[in-house]
């Protein structure tokens, strides 16, 4: 918690403290090396889904698992079986596309580059773009084949273009999953063909989807494209929500007999983006209807508000042995929070940070956390960082503060 500020010292007490500091300086200096470590911030609090604090329950969803995520705040709105291992089917192509987008962004691939179609890509089973072996196809067309048509052949062709082989590309997919913290995700192929080791969770899928739309907004138009014609074969996007709701602009369907019908959907309404993940529905119609219900529930019953603006401190903390007596703690980016509708004013920020804070302090150094709570439950927890440098004070200033700490 934020320390209670000390009362100002009188002139006499200042002189007394300085005299004590001068007298104790040798002992204080020799004791510095053996001084105990300062108290640190408490362990991370348990964060709850905001839906647990709402009086409006989530809709009944006929699926193995589901989750909705507010992308602006990064909070889970509601979930059922979020960490159950599930088969992703063609939802795998979200990661395949992410790795391809990254290759384009870093100049290793370009949209107008032509890719040779290998026999392996051409022979890949399942849904197809219908590319022909030993032909050359532009990356832009292959991306439409992957995203709009869910073509397994197009996915393998892009994998080989990025990494030289599908196996090497799958290694990149798993590396990226690790980087994003997708702890329960493992890939064995790029299109999402059934395999006992090819697994994920709806929590990981939601994180991946949020990262994809945030990191690569320039490619999001592919996911809202309703149809694509290649080789004189026109195929519609399997995401029926694109026709049902104009605010929906992605993302990906998936289906196998073992995985059931799956859908990762996202919508943007009044600047607020929500991602819905649903796996294991019994039909295309069921996954579409249930996903729309989850999106509507997340928008209609919850608000996402900006609690701290960019550069706005969450707390001002006392600094010891520094050229300044206080320092701002917070984040360099805005902090948003999702709450049940109308509950924004009731959010309580609780700061916990290393005490005492002893200079020198470097801008950007993390020294604690701020928990954003509602009704005694933590909805978000974010790191607290030093927002400006605080150099160490001179000798007498340091000694003076050391004595004040001793007298507390």
Buried b (16+ CB within 10 A) or exposed e, 188-213: bbbbbbeeeebbbbbbbbbbbbbbbb
Whole-angstrom distance, CA of residue 280 vs CA of residue 174: 23
Tell me which residue has tokens 């773009």: 129
**Which alpha helices (H) appear in 48-109, and where do they start and end?**
93-105
| Token duo for residue 401 | 């503060």
CB neighbours of residue 270 within 10 Å? 7
Whole-angstrom distance, CA of residue 334 vs CA of residue 324: 25
| 265 burial type by CB count under 10 A (0-12 exposed, 13-18 middle, 19+ buried) | buried
Cis geometry, peptide bond prior to residue 251 (ω within 30 degrees of 0)? yes
CB neighbours of residue 170 within 10 Å? 22
| Token duo for residue 194 | 């059934």
For 19-157, list the strands marked E by DSSP. Answer: 65-70, 75-80, 114-116, 136-138
Q: Residue 371 to residues 50, 239, 303: CA-CA distances in angstroms? A: 14, 38, 18
Among residues 54, 90, 96, 298, which one is catalytic?
A: 90
Question: Torsions phi, psi of 407, nearest 5?
Answer: -85, -5
Among residues 73, 96, 127, 150, which one is catalytic?
A: 150
- Say whether 90 is catalytic: yes
SS3 147: helix
Task: Pick the closest to residue 377 from 353, 351, 348, 337 (CA basis).
Answer: 348
Q: CB under 8 Å to 84, separation ≥6 — which residues?
A: 64, 65, 201, 202
Among residues 54, 64, 73, 93, which one is catalytic?
A: 93
Whole-angstrom distance, CA of residue 339 vs CA of residue 347: 8
Tell me which residue has tokens 């050359």: 136
Whole-angstrom distance, CA of residue 77 vs CA of residue 222: 26
Question: Torsions phi, psi of 46, nearest 5?
Answer: -75, 125
Provide the annotated active-site residues: 90, 93, 150
């Amino acid at each position: 918690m934020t320390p209670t500020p000390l009362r100002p010292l009188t002139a006499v007490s200042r002189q007394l403290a300085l005299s004590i500091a001068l007298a104790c300086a040798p002992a204080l200096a020799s004791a510095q090396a053996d001084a105990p470590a300062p108290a640190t911030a408490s362990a991370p609090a348990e964060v709850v889904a905001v839906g647990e604090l709402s009086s409006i329950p989530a809709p009944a969803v006929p699926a193995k698992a589901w989750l909705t995520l507010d992308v602006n705040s990064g909070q889970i709105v509601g979930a059922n079986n979020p960490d159950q291992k599930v088969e992703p089917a063609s939802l795998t192509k979200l990661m395949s596309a992410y790795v391809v987008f990254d290759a384009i962004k870093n100049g290793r691939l370009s949209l107008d580059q032509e890719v040779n179609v290998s026999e392996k890509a051409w022979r890949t089973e399942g849904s197809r773009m219908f590319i022909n072996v030993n032909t050359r196809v532009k990356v832009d067309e292959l991306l439409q084949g992957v995203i709009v048509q869910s073509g397994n052949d197009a996915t393998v062709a892009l994998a080989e273009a990025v990494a030289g082989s599908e196996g090497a590309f799958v290694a990149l997919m798993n590396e990226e999953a690790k980087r994003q913290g997708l702890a329960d995700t493992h890939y064995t192929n790029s299109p999402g063909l059934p395999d006992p080791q090819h697994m994920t969770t709806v929590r990981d899928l939601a994180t991946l989807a949020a990262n994809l739309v945030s990191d690569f907004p320039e490619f999001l138009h592919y996911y809202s494209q309703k149809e694509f014609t290649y080789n004189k074969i026109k195929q519609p996007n399997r995401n029926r929500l694109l026709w049902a709701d104009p605010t929906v602009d992605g993302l990906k369907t998936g289906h196998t007999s073992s995985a059931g019908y799956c859908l990762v959907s996202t919508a943007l309404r009044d600047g607020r983006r929500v991602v819905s993940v649903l796996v294991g529905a019994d039909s295309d119609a069921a996954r579409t209807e249930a996903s729309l219900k989850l999106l509507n529930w997340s928008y209609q019953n919850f608000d996402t508000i900006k609690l701290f603006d960019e550069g706005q401190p969450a707390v001002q903390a006392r600094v010891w042995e520094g050229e300044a007596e206080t320092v701002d703690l917070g984040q360099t980016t805005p902090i948003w929070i999702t709450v049940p509708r109308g509950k924004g004013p009731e959010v309580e920020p609780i700061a916990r940070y290393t005490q005492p804070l002893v200079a020198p302090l470097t801008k950007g150094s993390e020294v604690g956390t701020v928990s954003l709570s509602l009704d005694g439950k933590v909805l978000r927890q974010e790191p607290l960082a030093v927002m400006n440098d605080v150099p160490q004070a001179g000798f007498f200033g340091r000694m003076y503060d050391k004595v004040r700490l001793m007298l507390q």
